[in-house]
């Protein structure tokens, strides 16, 4: 009996290994990810193959084409105008000598067709309670439409509160569209949206599956968080819809960063929402360009900014390119907040060059994991960059989920993208890049304020860790290209 079991296992292992090798090399990918998946498949012969089919497969050419074919509704004309201006040296006078703005504006226009907008008004939220209180009030005041995209939309008390408002607005004749990620919101019951549907609202799971428990798109997650109200107010940042983002949960107080935007940058969020919505909506639910979705705003603030997105349908990794460009342009300091610090070689080298050039590099990470393997890999890379000369802060006042980088108090980026390979290559992400001295200095001051709730992870901090913990860090980082 035992011999038969061993033979069956051996046969399954051989079949799994052969199928794995064929499958891995059928889809071209970078060498680091290839080796990481081969390691998984070798260590876990049969189970690893199952993991690969659910989490490792790249987007099909058909799906990539479907994503790319979605037009940036309402943005084409503005992109054409700004790209034409870039060829005229006289037009560059508008940047007033701001090299950050000039270089990054060009980069994002060329790589992501991200328009540069001025006179936006920005309000930051660092606490979930104040963010959702403001959001609820704005939702109640909606006059024409509400478009909402969240990676996680739970059906807990916060989710119920938001859905109740959305349902009431839908009953009042307001267009309500809700898009949520199938993996991030896997625990949310479909019936939670029944009342919204009865009221005339619509909801769709991004990359959902018609077959329960079987979904081969789990590796490509729509990690964006976007809300657009009447084309005039936009929300984007790190908070999802769930009680834990109010500080109710095992991780305790939740420290994050979110923006409320008024101004023409909202139109870029609107366009991004429609691209994602139309990519997965049925034919009758797709949306075409309408003027009411894209009202041009009068000057309302002083912030110049760009909305930049990236995802697995493109090889450009636009957000990562922006981060590298910011790091390369730094002259004084670089402040980074991220729950997951797993940079690829290009970002790691950019940070090393900055440190060796005398730039003050400070990186803040959480003191506790929400994903154990990812956190151990984060510790590994934090130790690595600390040895180069960066200062590592361990946030101890709850869980740090903020995704933010400030350079020299002159440019900042805040959004949904973590400082890891998954965010740059596998997830659908959105970041704001802000060119406003007042705003960027506020964010730098917030970093300094948060550092008061941190301990410094110096050489001794890492040295005194147990051998078992160090082993887990070294082991976890082997899977960093696919985490």
Q: Considering the domain boundaries, does residue 281 fall inside one?
A: yes
Tell me whether residue 39 is in a domain. yes
Quick count: other Cβ atoms within 10 Å of Cβ 449? 10
> Are both 178 and 282 inside the same structural domain?
yes
Report if residue 99 sits inside a domain.
Answer: yes
Rounded to the nearest integer, the mean pLDDT of the chain is: 85
Number of domains within the chain: 2
| Across 119-133, 159-173, 186-200, 364-378, least confident range | 364-378
Catalytic residue of the set 112, 138, 181, 230 = 230
Q: Please tell me whether residues 148 and 19 are part of one structural domain.
A: no
Place of tokens 């603030």: 301
Contacts 24+ apart (CB under 8 A), 168-171: 168/140, 168/199, 169/139, 169/140, 169/142, 169/201, 170/196, 170/199, 170/200, 170/201, 171/199, 171/200
**What distance in Å separates the CA atoms of residue 240 and residue 223, rounded to the nearest whole number?**
9
| Span 361-374, average pLDDT | 91
Indicate whether 93 belongs to any domain. Answer: yes
In a domain, 266, yes or no: yes
Say if residue 4 is exposed, middle or buried (CB neighbours under 10 Å; 0-12, 13-18, 19+).
exposed
CA distance 46 to 59: 22
Q: Which residue shows structure tokens 């009042």?
A: 172
| Residue 115 near residue 153, CB atoms below 8 Å | no
The verdict on 264 and 183 lying in the same domain is yes
User: Where is pLDDT greater, at 216 or 165?
Assistant: 165
The reply to whether 100 and 11 lie within a common domain is no
The verdict on 143 and 290 lying in the same domain is yes
Residue 120, pLDDT above cutoff 60? yes
Distance (Å, whole) CA 376 – CA 340: 10
238 and 128 within one domain: yes
Are both 80 and 206 inside the same structural domain? yes
Neighbours of 136 (CB within 10 A): 15
- Is residue 183 domain-shared with residue 296, that is, in the same domain? yes
Q: Which of 408, 420, 436, 450 is catalytic?
A: 408
Q: Which of 147, 223, 325, 425 is catalytic?
A: 223
Residue 198 exposure: Cα atoms within 13 Å on the Cβ side: 8
Q: Can you give the CATH number for the domain in which 222 is found?
A: 3.30.870.10
Is 246 a member of any domain? yes
Catalytically annotated residue among 217, 220, 383, 403: 403
Residue 420, pLDDT score: 93
Residue of 45, 39, 40, 41 lying closest to 13 (CA atoms): 45
Q: Which 3-state string (H, E, C) describes 410-431?
A: CEEEEECCCEEHHHHHHCEEEE
373 assigned to some structural domain: no
Q: How far apart are CA 445 and CA 309, in angstroms?
A: 26
Domain end point (choices 292, 310, 328): 310
User: Model confidence over 158-190: pLDDT tens digits?
Assistant: 999 999 999 999 999 999 999 999 989 989 999
pLDDT of residue 479: 65
Let me know if 251 is exposed, middle or buried by CB neighbors in 10 A (0-12, 13-18, 19+): middle
Of the residues 262, 280, 310, the one at which a domain ends: 310
In whole angstroms, how far apart are CA 441 and each of 266, 301, 354, 411?
23, 16, 20, 9
- The verdict on whether 129 is a catalytic residue reads no
Task: Indicate whether 201 and 250 sit together in one domain.
Answer: yes
Question: Does 230 qualify as catalytic in the annotation?
Answer: yes
**Domain containing residue 12:** 2-57
- 252 Cα distance to chain centroid: 22
Phi and psi torsions of 5, nearest 5°: -60, -45
Question: Residues 53, 74: one domain?
Answer: no
3-state secondary structure of 72: coil
Residue 408 is a catalytic residue: yes
Q: Please indicate whether residue 225 is annotated as part of the active site.
A: yes
Q: What value does the mean pLDDT take over residues 384-408? A: 97
Same domain, 122 and 209: yes
Closest CA relative to residue 343, chosen from 480, 482, 457, 238: 480
Single residue among 42, 57, 72 that ends a domain in this structure: 57
Q: Assess whether 25 and 155 both reside in one domain.
A: no
* Lowest-confidence region among 14-23, 242-251, 285-294: 14-23
Q: Per residue in 434-474, pLDDT tens?
A: 999 999 999 999 999 999 999 999 999 999 999 999 888 88
Is there a domain that residue 438 lies in?
no
């Amino acid at each position: 009996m035992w011999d038969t079991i061993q033979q069956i296992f051996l046969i399954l292992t051989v079949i799994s290994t052969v199928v794995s090798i064929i499958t891995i090399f059928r889809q071209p990918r970078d060498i680091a990810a290839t080796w990481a998946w081969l390691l998984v498949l070798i260590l876990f012969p049969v189970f690893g193959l199952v993991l690969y089919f659910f989490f490792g497969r790249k987007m099909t050419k058909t799906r990539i084409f479907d994503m790319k074919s979605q037009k940036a509704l309402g943005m084409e004309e503005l992109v054409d105008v700004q790209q034409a201006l870039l060829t005229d040296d006289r037009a560059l006078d508008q940047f007033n000598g701001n090299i950050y703005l000039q270089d990054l504006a060009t980069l994002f226009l060329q790589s992501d067709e991200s328009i540069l907008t001025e006179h936006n008004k920005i309000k930051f939220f660092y606490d979930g309670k104040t963010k959702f209180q403001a959001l609820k009030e704005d939702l109640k005041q909606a006059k024409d439409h509400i478009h909402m995209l969240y990676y996680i939309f739970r059906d807990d008390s916060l989710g119920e509160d938001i859905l109740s408002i959305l349902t009431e607005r839908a009953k009042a004749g307001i267009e309500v569209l809700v898009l949520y990620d199938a993996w991030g919101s896997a625990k949310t019951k479909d019936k939670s949206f029944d009342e919204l549907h009865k009221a005339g609202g619509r909801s769709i799971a991004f990359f959902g599956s018609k077959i329960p428990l079987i979904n081969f798109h789990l590796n490509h997650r729509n990690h964006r968080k976007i809300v657009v109200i009447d084309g005039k107010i936009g929300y984007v940042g790190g908070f999802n819809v769930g009680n834990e983002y109010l500080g109710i949960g095992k991780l305790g107080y939740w420290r994050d960063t979110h923006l409320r935007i008024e101004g023409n940058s909202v139109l870029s969020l609107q366009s991004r929402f429609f691209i994602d919505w139309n990519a997965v909506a049925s034919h009758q639910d797709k949306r075409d360009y309408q003027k009411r979705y894209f009202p041009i705003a009068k000057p309302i603030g002083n912030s110049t900014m760009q909305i930049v997105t990236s995802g697995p349908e493109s090889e450009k990794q636009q957000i990562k390119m922006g981060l590298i460009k910011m790091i390369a342009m730094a002259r004084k300091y670089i402040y980074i907040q991220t729950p997951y610090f797993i940079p690829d070689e290009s970002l790691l080298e950019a940070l090393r060059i900055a440190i060796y050039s005398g730039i003050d590099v400070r990186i803040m990470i959480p003191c506790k994991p929400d994903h154990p393997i990812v956190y151990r890999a984060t510790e590994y890379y934090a130790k690595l960059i600390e040895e180069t000369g960066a200062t590592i802060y361990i946030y101890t006042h709850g869980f740090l989920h903020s995704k933010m980088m400030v350079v020299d108090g002159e440019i900042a980026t805040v959004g949904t993208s973590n400082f890891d390979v998954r965010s740059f290559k596998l997830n659908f992400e959105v970041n704001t890049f802000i060119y406003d001295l007042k705003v960027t200095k506020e964010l730098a001051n917030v970093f300094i304020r948060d550092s008061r709730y941190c301990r410094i992870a110096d050489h001794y901090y890492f040295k005194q860790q147990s051998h078992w913990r160090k082993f887990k860090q070294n082991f976890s980082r082997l899977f960093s290209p696919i985490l």
